[in-house]
Amino acid sequence: MPSEVAPSAIRDFINKELIDLGVEEDALDADARFDELDIDSLDVADLMTSIKRDYGVVIPRRDLVGITLGQLVERVVSERAAGAQEATEATEAE
């Protein structure tokens, strides 16, 4: 079962990854949309791979169209919570 991670830690992780991809730190506002960040599809793929590796959450690139960084953080938090709930239910069913 995934351990609980604070939304602020997820936001910090995503921001660090984006900075590593060349996004200017001052562009990393919770309301910033992905299409405003001047990153290409390979950068997006790298970010999604990092999120999957570190948080176990798979988010298709098409789901990033028009969403903000804040919404991405919320999505990672909710997907992790859903995964934790499924793991708990599976354990209880055994």
Domain assignments of the chain as residue spans, ordered by start? 24-93
CATH number of the domain located at residue range(s) 24-93 in this protein: 1.10.1200
Confidence at residue 88, expressed as pLDDT on a 0 to 100 scale: 47
Nearest to 67 by CA among 22, 37, 25, 35: 35
Q: What angle do CA 32, 44, 48 make, to 5 degrees?
A: 105
Q: What is the mean pLDDT of the chain?
A: 86
Q: What is the pLDDT of residues 17-49, one digit of tens each?
A: 999 999 999 999 999 998 888 899 899 999 999
Higher pLDDT, 49 or 87: 49
Between CA 33 and CA 77 the distance in angstroms is 18
CB 69 within 8 A of CB 11: yes
pTM over 0.85: no
With 60 as the cut, is the pLDDT of residue 93 above it?
Answer: no
